[in-house]
Amino acid sequence: MTRMTSLLPLNTFGIEARAAHFTEVTSVDELRRALRRAVPPVLVLGGGSNVLFTQDWPGTVIRNAIRGIEVVRRFKNRVWVRVGSGESWHGFVQWAVGQNLGGAENLSLIPGSVGAAPVQNIGAYGVELKDVFVGLEAVELATGKTRRFSRPACRFGYRDSVFKQTEKGRYCITSVTLSLSTGRHRVHTGYGDIAKTLAEMGVAQPTIADVSTAVIRIRSSKLPDPARIGNCGSFFKNPEVERAVYEKIRLTHPAAPHYDLPDGRVKIPAGWLIEQCGWKGKRVGNTGCHDKQALVLVNHGGATGAEVVALAHAIIGSVENTFGVRLEPEVNIL
């Protein structure tokens, strides 16, 4: 265990923060040993793509580097694949596409680790992690005991799971098992710009590799590359509001984009609300709102977590004043 370690290279926002104690683990046994020696509070860090540090971490940061991809069961048209939680999510998706295993291709290029994927039920282009999820194994930080979580036990919702609610901060996910199709794949091309991008690529009968390529093209054109400009993807969740709230917005903005939810409420893209309030592309000190997708806050270099939080509060206040809708951060602010 090393002391006072910089977390700068370990968070995609590129924020300088230090861990009082730091260690990396590559297996479940190493994780258990690290937990026995750890100084509380313990933070398990995966890809660092959904955290915003606003202060140094006073206890132990455990960097999860538990790797491995293994087919654990074979069925007629599917396989179950168990993936070590420290694998990169996109690396895993590329492996699956390369093996002609379908289901995760719409989730191409999402930053972060496999272990973080269930925590917020990552989703993009009409597919969510829960659609391919079978179960996971996690180690309880307080006891070192392994616990299995089935899909219902994870209580997945939109960018939500039990690991953001009642079980928050209590477990380190060590492996995730996913169900992937081995043939006759069902490709999902109905969402957003996928069909248009496939047409531009000249593809009529898309394979899962084509869908992955289309998603990568769309994401790279809109979302900043964290290797070049610090960010955590969507900073806010898309708000789900009562229909009356949306109807009121529609009176002044008839073209407001929205998705009808099964329960009668309406989801409004936060990026649109933020853009309407004039934040898109705006720079405030070292931080700013991305010029191609207003939902993404960026670090133009040397930003502190407090600066990003201040910008987020300014945006929340202005969207609330203008539309009466309160945005909630999706990123974990520590």
Q: Please tell me whether residue 11 binds ligand EPU under the rule CB under 6 A.
A: no
Binding mask 255-284 for ligand EPU (x = CB under 6 A): --x-----------x-xx--x----x----
Contacting ligand EPU (CB under 6 A), which of 10, 44, 124, 172? 124
Is residue 220 part of the annotated active site? The answer reads no
Find the shortest distance in angstroms from Cβ 332 to ligand EPU: 12
What six digits make up the tokens of 289?
């709102």
**Helix boundaries (H) for 61-205:** 89-98, 116-119, 151-154, 194-200
Contacting ligand EPU (CB under 6 A), which of 23, 293, 299, 304? 293
Q: Please tell me whether residue 294 binds ligand EPU under the rule CB under 6 A.
A: yes
Selection from 262, 275, 260 nearest residue 323 by Cα: 275
CA dihedral 124, 84, 155, 123 (to 10 degrees): 0
Scanning 51-59, 200-208, 232-240, 304-312 for contacts with ligand EPU by CB under 6 A, the matching segment is: 232-240
Find the shortest distance in angstroms from Cβ 100 to ligand EPU: 24
**Helix boundaries (H) for the chain:** 28-37, 89-98, 116-119, 151-154, 194-200, 208-222, 243-252, 270-276, 305-323
Q: Please tell me whether residue 104 binds ligand EPU under the rule CB under 6 A.
A: no
What phi and psi values does residue 123 have, to the nearest 5 degrees? -155, 150
Distance between CA 159 and CA 117 in Å, rounded? 10
DSSP letter (8 states) at residue 231: E
DSSP letter (8 states) at residue 313: H
Find the shortest distance in angstroms from Cβ 233 to ligand EPU: 3
Q: Please tell me whether residue 295 binds ligand EPU under the rule CB under 6 A.
A: yes
Residues that bind ligand EPU (CB under 6 A): 124-125, 192, 222-223, 233-234, 237-238, 257, 269, 271-272, 275, 280, 293-295, 330
Q: Which residues are catalytic?
A: 159, 234, 330
